[in-house]
């Protein structure tokens, strides 16, 4: 069997693409190596997705996945190991088989780069977050720690200044590396402290997060906090397409405004792409637009 489109990844971008592809009567299948939903599965509460005032990330992911299944989209729970370009036909190689298709949509997303310190896994999505826009409102009138000093850390810290009572920024360098204007605004905030040349060594707490132990030049110091936001980078899940030469030096997929890569017939959508904003709504948008362009690509192949 030769599919019209094979979708790799079942996050918001991949699931939206699957819905649009199936409704367009395309022969589609979706691959997922873990749990459907991508990063939203690890989001405690979602309060900024239109139509849902508040629900857990798991609930939103489940709703999306049930929509996919109700339409009859087949889902294969295997890890994709490689994508081969054979011209008009592409091959998707998994752990257990080889699948042929006319187009491929990469929608594998990213994973946050973690610190790898004690208790980090314990409090993941339950005290430790990687998205202030998503989870910041949970810490209204509470104390939080932001780890990092780049654009994401500083911009999200600025967002949190209007929510949290106090923010402690922990940066491992002697300066913040974000845009100078954003840094200046952060330094002017009255409820923000910045600790330079410091590293988080452990997260504290039993049943719930109580803070973090950091190490500075002066020694160890415990900081009390109700929540922690980590911004030390993201890692795109794209190693399986490294041979196609469609990613930048950081591993993010480069696409045109039609979401097509430099390899005709291979498209990419969502957080694994080179982009400025990574949110559920932008991933959903990417998936919808990419699929419309896949449909046009397939129509042109028949002409």
Instruction: Determine the Cα–Cα distance for residues 203 and 213; give it in Å rounded to an integer.
Output: 6
Instruction: Determine the Cα–Cα distance for residues 251 and 240; give it in Å rounded to an integer.
Output: 11
Does the active-site annotation cover 222?
A: no
Phi, psi values for residue 97, rounded to 5°: -170, 175
Other Cβ atoms within 10 Å of 155 Cβ, number: 18
- Find all residues with CB under 8 Å of 188, minimum gap 6, and list them: none
Q: Are 246 and 254 in contact (CB under 8 A)?
A: yes
Catalytic pick among 4, 85, 121, 131: 131
Question: Strand runs (DSSP E) across the chain, as ranges?
Answer: 2-8, 28-31, 75-76, 80-85, 90-94, 98-106, 110-112, 128-129, 143-147, 166-170, 192-195, 199-205, 209-216, 219-224, 227-230, 234-236, 266-268
Catalytic pick among 4, 85, 121, 135: 135
Does the active-site annotation cover 135?
A: yes
Does the active-site annotation cover 134?
A: yes
Residues annotated catalytic, as ranges = 131, 134-135
């Amino acid at each position: 069997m030769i599919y019209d489109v094979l979708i790799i990844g079942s996050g918001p971008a991949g699931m939206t693409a699957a819905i649009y592809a199936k409704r367009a009567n395309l022969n589609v299948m979706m691959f997922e190596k873990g749990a459907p939903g991508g990063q939203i599965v690890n989001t405690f509460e979602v309060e900024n997705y239109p139509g849902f005032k508040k629900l857990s990330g798991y609930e939103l992911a489940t709703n999306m996945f049930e929509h996919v299944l109700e339409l009859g989209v087949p889902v294969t729970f295997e890890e994709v190991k490689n994508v081969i370009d054979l011209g008009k036909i592409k091959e998707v190689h998994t752990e257990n088989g080889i699948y042929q298709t006319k187009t491929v949509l990469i929608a594998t997303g990213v994973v946050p780069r973690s610190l790898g310190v004690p208790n980090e896994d314990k409090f993941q999505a339950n005290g430790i977050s990687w998205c202030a826009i998503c989870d910041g409102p949970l810490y209204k009138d509470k104390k939080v720690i932001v780890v990092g000093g780049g654009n994401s850390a500083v911009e999200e810290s600025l967002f949190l200044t209007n929510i949290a009572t106090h923010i402690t920024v922990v940066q491992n360098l002697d300066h913040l590396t974000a845009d100078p204007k954003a840094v200046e605004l952060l330094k002017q905030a009255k409820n923000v402290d910045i600790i330079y040349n410091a590293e988080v060594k452990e997260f504290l707490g039993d049943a719930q997060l109580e803070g973090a132990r950091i190490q500075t030049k002066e020694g160890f110091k415990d900081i009390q906090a109700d929540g922690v936001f980590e911004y030390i980078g993201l890692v795109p899940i794209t190693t399986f397409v490294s041979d196609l030469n469609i990613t930048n030096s950081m591993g993010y997929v480069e696409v045109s405004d039609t979401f097509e890569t430099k390899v005709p017939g291979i498209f990419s959508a969502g957080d694994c792409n080179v982009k400025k904003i990574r949110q559920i709504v932008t991933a959903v948008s990417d998936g919808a637009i990419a699929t419309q362009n896949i449909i046009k690509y397939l129509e042109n192949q028949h002409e």
